Structure 1
Amino acid sequence: MMGHRLFAVLVRASVAVATIDAHLARPMRHLLRSGAIDGYRLGGQVTGAWNPDYNPAADPANWRTCGACDGTTRSGDVACAVCAEAVQAGRRPGTVVPWSCTDWARYPGDIVALPRLLHPGWRFPRGRTPIAWVDLAGVVWLGTDEAVLTGTDTGHLPPRLRRVLDDLRIGRRDPDPGRSAPRTRPRPADLVTPWRYSGRAQPQGARFNPAEWSVAVVDAHS
């Protein structure tokens, strides 16, 4: 049985849904190669996870013309049973919503500006806390998977994620180590997967600017 898990993946603020795949490829690559996950996509089964007001079924971008009646709402002399609930559900007559999340339109709200997560009052919706943080410095498992699975997740920022965000702000974690110079004092390896952490720091004088980054809501499945 396929399992779906919510990963928070750091991407550039300039990324949009049309270009997200290219920006997710690098940080997610080794998770795929190592077999930690089988695949991933923006949103997927967790589409709209961080916006409780969003319902994929109520998004007109996900409405499709009913294939049973070609949108006419009639099947012979009777009402089409396939799209009969469209109006009651708030959709246009003669439309249906794809049953599979792989056919849902990508939701721009699944790319969240990093400063929102840095706000002192930020909370994830209950049950929607990520189980892992991923950037080009590595993957940090947040220790939240059991709470999410058992329905006891409160949405409060996990301590490990708080540490990651603090490290980013003060320059102790480099989100793009490929552009950096070597460092002399490596981070402890207790939380960061060794094959991903680069042991590099930001160039001298460089400052981490949260406004230049966003966080993608990623459905990672295995």
Structure 2
Amino acid sequence: MITPIVVQFPLKGEWLSPNTPGTKIPSHGTNQLGTTYAYDFIQVDWNRAGLPAYRASPLQYLFCGIPLNEYYCWGQKIYAPCNGTVVAAEDGYEERARTNLFSDFLNAYKNARYFDPAKDDARSIAGNHIIIECGESVYAALCHLQSGSIQVSVGQKVRKGDFIGRIGHSGNSFAPHLHFQLMDSCDITVANGLPCAFEEYEVYRNGKWHTIKNGIPASQDRIRFLG
């Protein structure tokens, strides 16, 4: 087994990772676009049945869609997971104003089937995104950011824990979330995914928070990082 690269958790507060290499590899069902060991992070209401990621009712989601500001994680701050240099900071890609099960599914299907890296804009997949060079042939990609939220520019040096942007719903996104991955190239269209663990976070089990060191969250874990 490849030893994972350890970085800092890129968010603060409580989170759920519905797609994670802690449960399956490849975590997103494909090795393309560097996603082999990628994570998705959302916030949910732990006290509601089904753990919804939004304040509205499931019926509203199915029939009308949900405005982005009804999602718990939309607009939440994202932090640099490592010391490094920003090599990409793509902003200005418009977010859809609300989620819609039918149109978001069609968008995902179209991108999965017809995306051509030779001619298509990578933002149609990654949305607004930041890529940080963390080390030799190690790049951290943080995708689907809120339009206008990116705080860094290409060539800028960042330190672990710096505020760099906010969670959004841009690109190939079913709902507001952070897509996070490590990869071996700054070009998402050709990159291979790299295994990644987080240097410290907490997991809620049996009524208590337990500290995890150099861990890989599973899809059912209630994760907390306070920074």
TM-score, normalised by the number of residues in structure 2: 0.23
TM-score, normalised by the number of residues in structure 1: 0.24
Structure of larger gyration radius: 1
Ranked by relative contact order (alpha carbons within 8 Å, sequence separation 6 or more), the top structure is 1
